Amino acid sequence: MTGTLYGIGVGPGAPDLLTLRAVAVLRSVDVILAAASPRNDYSAALETARPHLRPETRLLRLEFPMTRDPGTLRAAWQKAAQAAREVLEGGESAAFLTIGDPLIYSTFGYLLRTLRESAPDLPVEIVPGITSFQAAAARTGTVLCESGETLRILPGINGCNDLAEELRHADTAVILKAYRNFPAISEALRGTGRSASSLLASHVEQAEENIRRGMDAVDGTPPYMSLILSRKPESGTGKGR
């Protein structure tokens, strides 16, 4: 008998925003797989899920380096997949934790793909989670899309021209990873007339939560866990905090 790997989205960071299914799985698995940077032991996903874990559940930390070097990343994914495989083939079930949803800009996607290459028959189940942009929309009363409107999810790491082109074709745009490349993001928003109406949300549903409207007043680089909600200027939005 082999164990099952569960990819669990723990939501934006509040322990009470996990789904009932996620909580049930967390209370049943033998091992928690927590992704973390080699630079520190902190895992936001683990801290979010911790109130729902049994005391005897074993923790296995998997390192995912913050780099774009293909060779370094590939080696880290293979090492993580091998660690997960050993757990499952030993008969234990494991939950890989990820902030938000496991299939949206998540390290779980890389782990899943690599594990399927080496052990395609191992059972895997995925438990969806509430995303940070859904939580930010709820906190601010922002309608993401309605009727025939479009919603686009964009990575903030793209260049200004690419971002601007996407923004021109979206009724609502969600820009994730909106921290390191913030000057280019701000320029794209200004160039498409969206700067003043956009919302910058950082650490949504966490103690450090900060949500504000207008990009021109933002000084410096936003925190790592930041996103932007951008409706077309003529569309209605809720009031930011």
CB contact at 8 A, 94 and 3? yes
Tokens of 111: 């782990």
CB contact at 8 A, 229 and 172? yes
In the chain, at which residue ranges do the beta strands (DSSP E only) sit?
5-9, 31-36, 58-63, 94-98, 124-127, 151-155, 172-176, 199-202, 210-213, 226-231
Distance, CA of 167 to CA of 213 (rounded, Å): 17
Q: Which pLDDT does position 66 carry in this prediction? A: 76
Which amino acid appears at position 4 of this protein? T
Residue where the block lists tokens 């630079």: 39
Own/partner contacts of 49-52, CB < 8 Å, gap of 24 or more, are 49/8, 49/10, 49/15, 49/18, 49/22, 49/97, 50/15, 51/15, 52/15, 52/18, 52/22, 52/23, 52/26, 52/27
Report which DSSP code applies to 82. Answer: H
Q: Which pLDDT does position 41 carry in this prediction? A: 72
Domains delineated in the chain = 5-127 (3.40.1010.10), 132-231 (3.30.950.10)
The alpha carbon of residue 162 and the mean position of all alpha carbons in its chain are separated, in whole angstroms, by 21
Report which DSSP code applies to 223. Answer: P
Termini Cα distance of the chain: 51
Q: Which pLDDT does position 233 carry in this prediction? A: 83
For the entire predicted model, the pTM comes to 0.90
Report which DSSP code applies to 11. Answer: B
Q: Average pLDDT for consecutive 10-residue bins of the chain (241 residues)?
A: 97 97 98 83 90 97 83 92 97 97 95 96 98 98 96 96 96 95 95 95 96 87 95 60 37
CB contact at 8 A, 169 and 189? no
Q: Which pLDDT does position 60 carry in this prediction? A: 95
Distance, CA of 54 to CA of 231 (rounded, Å): 42
Q: Which pLDDT does position 238 carry in this prediction? A: 43
